[in-house]
Structures are given as structure tokens and as C-alpha cells.
Amino acid sequence: MHWTDRMRLVKVVLVCSAVAISAASLVWSHILASDLAREERSRMEVWAEAMRSFEQADEQTDLALVLKVINGNNTIPVVVLSPDGAIQAHRNLDLKAPDEATLEKKITSWALARRDAGSVINIHLDDDEVMQICYDESVMLKRLASYPYIQLGIVFIFVVVAIFALLSSKRAEQNKVWVGLSKETAHQLGTPISSLMAWAQVLKDTYPDDKLLPEMDKDVQRLQVIAERFSKIGSHPETNPENISEVISHVVDYIGPRTSNHVVISTQLPAQPFYANISAPLFEWVVENLCKNAVDAMDGAGSITISAHEEPVRFVVEVADTGKGIPKNRFSTVFQPGFTTKARGWGLGLSLAKRIIEEYHNGRIFVKTSEINKGTTFRIELNK
């Protein structure tokens, strides 16, 4: 199993665990809220019985106990409706109105709404009349019912902030590694390249007619280009207006002779030159990586087409091949460091390309289209 698949599996397990914990928390809170609701219902039944005793009190009724029960309700909102539907009493209501008439209408509307919702207890009096006790959940019960959602919201925000902080920290650490590795590589290449340049000059002076020396000089210049690329990737490179067609042609001139005769590299470039602000050495590196990946995907036989054109708000470069293709679920994975389908290699080519285009040129690079055993097209977009 590839490490990206393992990371995806770990993420799925973590998400499922979080969902399970959240569901358990909601179920437990629901059980507690249901128990408290039943307890409040029992309290209201006792309170309703106390009201019935108060309405039918005689000399044998213990009014002190009845009033203690009635006055002991300081949390549950309640309205007592007389048999004719008038408001007889109310407690713990947080309703306000500019005058008594408006307040009475609000209380009546509140009581009827509670009655329609089933939060009512009927008190049967001796004269076959029915008095109704309309009540609502206490503030404590409402808070208990909403608490798990608030808790989950806070946990979710905390997790999102923690993940964002971890990703930012990881990205900053990766950037330091990239910069340090690139600068050290450019530094280490500098000394042997200088020596090779000196020896090449000595050989030119000693054997001025040797036909192999120009090729050696090209390889030394190539090493200089590689060192320059690493030095630029290690710091924010300077961009300048460059002719995109010339940059692509330079890449084809280098890649063409170094690939199999069974690989045909063609270009579709506009007749008129168009210029984009790029770092030419790094942009060439991106196109080279795409071409090398295309050659590997075609197993040494096929065609590569590099096209470029200008749109109203962007410049577009596309590299299409006739290779084995990429599955759709791998379109974004191919740009992750370490992803490779080859037995050898570190899987950093496309990751470097993405970093160069998106971070240094503020553009986009992505898989435009791909079909298994038919080919793949990579698209680069540079904003004007």
C-alpha cells in the first residue's frame, strides 16, 4: 500500500472515530435530556395536583403544604387556564409588553402554543369543569439539549484550527528543507563545475581541433544551468518578460536529441511571440520534467506535443503525450512528494513543478485530461 493510501486510510479512520464519538455524545445528551424532561413532567403533575387542591380547598386542606409546592416552582414556565380559557395564573414567563392587554394576549398565545404541542395537564374539578396547566421546558433543560451541539461546534473549530496550524507548521518546515537542500546543492555543485570549466579550457587550448570538446562544453554548461536552477529554487526567483515560444523551443532542442528515436516531440506555437513574466531557468525545468515523465509513461515510444497560446486573462502551455494515462483518482496525487510509478526515483519532479508554477509564478498546473492507454495532457496557466 502506497504511503498516500495509508494516509488516506488514517484520515478516514480518524473521521469515523470523530463521528462515532460525536454520535455517542449526542445520544447520551439526548438520554439525559429525556430523563430530565420526564422528571419535569412529574413535577408539573405534582404542581397541577397542588393547584387542584388549592382550587378545591376546605378546612381540612393543608394550605401551607399546597402553597409551598406551588411557590416551589421557580424554573418551569407555566400558565394556568381557567375552564373558560382565561388566564388564571402564570409563573416564570419571560414575556414583556408595553401594556397589560398586550401582555395578556402574549401569555394566552404562549399557553395555546404549549397546549397544541402537547405540554398540557388537565385538572378535573368537582363540577366537571377542566382547568388546564400549560408548561414549557425549563431553562436548564433547554441548555442541556443545546449543550452537545455547542460542544461539538467548539471541538470542530478547535480541530480545524489545530489541523491548520499543523499543516502550516509542516509546510514551513518543508519550505526550510527545500531551501536548505537547494542552496546546499547549488553550493556543492559550484566547485566541481568551476574545475570542469577550467579543465575544459585547458583541453581546448591543448587540442583545439578535437570534435568532442564542444559536446563536453555543452555538458558543463548544462551543469551550470542545473546549479542555477537549484540556487533559484532556494530563494524567491526574479521573474522577467520572456518569450514563451523561445523557452519551449530551447527545451525541445535539449530534450529531443536525448530521447529515443521512437519518441516524436512536436510543438504548436503561435506565429507571433508572446511574453510572460517568468523565471526562464525554472520554467524550462517544469517543461523538461513534464516531457521526461511523458517519455517514461510511453515506455520509449510515442509522441509528445507541446502547445502554447494566449487567452484574455492568462497564458496557457499544455504538454500532451500518448502514454499509459493516469486514473482520475490520481489526478491530484501525482503532485504529492514521493508519488512515483517508477521502480527508481524519488517522485519529486511533479512536486517541484507544482511548487515552481504555483508559488514562484502564481499560476496553476494540473492534469487537464487523461485516458488509460491513450495519453495525458498537463496544463499550465500563468496569469497575466
Digit-by-digit pLDDT tens for the chain (384 residues) are 555 566 567 667 767 777 777 778 778 887 888 888 888 888 888 888 888 887 777 777 777 887 888 888 888 888 888 888 888 888 888 888 888 888 888 888 888 888 888 888 888 877 778 888 898 888 788 777 777 778 778 777 877 777 777 677 666 666 666 666 666 677 677 778 888 888 888 888 888 888 888 888 888 887 887 777 777 665 677 888 999 999 999 899 888 888 888 899 999 999 888 899 998 888 998 999 899 888 888 887 899 999 999 998 999 999 999 988 888 888 878 887 655 555 444 456 788 888 889 988 889 999 999 999 899 999 999 998
* pLDDT number for residue 234: 58
Q: Please give the DSSP secondary-structure letter assigned to residue 329.
A: G
The 3-state DSSP class for residue 311 equals: coil
How distant, in Å, are the alpha carbons of 113, 268, 282, 350 from that of 277?
A: 68, 21, 12, 21
For the entire predicted model, the pTM comes to 0.51
The 3-state DSSP class for residue 334 equals: helix
* pLDDT number for residue 265: 92
Contact status, residue 92 vs residue 45, Cβ threshold 8 Å: no
Contact status, residue 72 vs residue 61, Cβ threshold 8 Å: no
Closest Cα to residue 154, out of 33, 25, 35, 28? 25
Contact status, residue 360 vs residue 237, Cβ threshold 8 Å: yes
> Could you give the angle at the alpha carbon of 98 between the alpha carbons of 92 and 103, nearest 5°?
45
* pLDDT number for residue 360: 84
Contact status, residue 357 vs residue 285, Cβ threshold 8 Å: no
Give the other-Cβ count within 10 Å of 133's Cβ.
25
Residue 315 host element (H or E): strand 314-321
| Terminal Cα-to-Cα distance of the chain (whole angstroms) | 42
* pLDDT number for residue 343: 46
In this structure, the strands spanning 302-310 and 275-278 are unpaired
Closest Cα to residue 326, out of 339, 345, 344, 308? 339
The 3-state DSSP class for residue 200 equals: helix
> Could you give the angle at the alpha carbon of 200 between the alpha carbons of 197 and 203, nearest 5°?
155
* pLDDT number for residue 81: 86
The 3-state DSSP class for residue 364 equals: strand
The 3-state DSSP class for residue 70 equals: helix
What secondary structure does DSSP assign to 226-278, as a single string?
Answer: HHHHHHHHTS----EEEEHHHHHHHHHHHHGGGS-TTEEEEEE--SS--EEEE
Longest dimension (CA), the chain: 135
Contact status, residue 365 vs residue 330, Cβ threshold 8 Å: no
What secondary structure does DSSP assign to 88-146, as a single string?
Answer: EEEES-----SSHHHHHHHHHHHHHHHHHTT-EEEEE-TTS-EEEEEE---HHHHHHHH
Closest Cα to residue 240, out of 364, 105, 360? 360
Residue in the structure block whose three cell numbers are 536552477: 229
Contact status, residue 110 vs residue 79, Cβ threshold 8 Å: yes
The C-alpha cell at 84 is: 373558560
* Distant-in-sequence, close-in-space partners of 207: CB < 8 Å, separation ≥ 6: 213
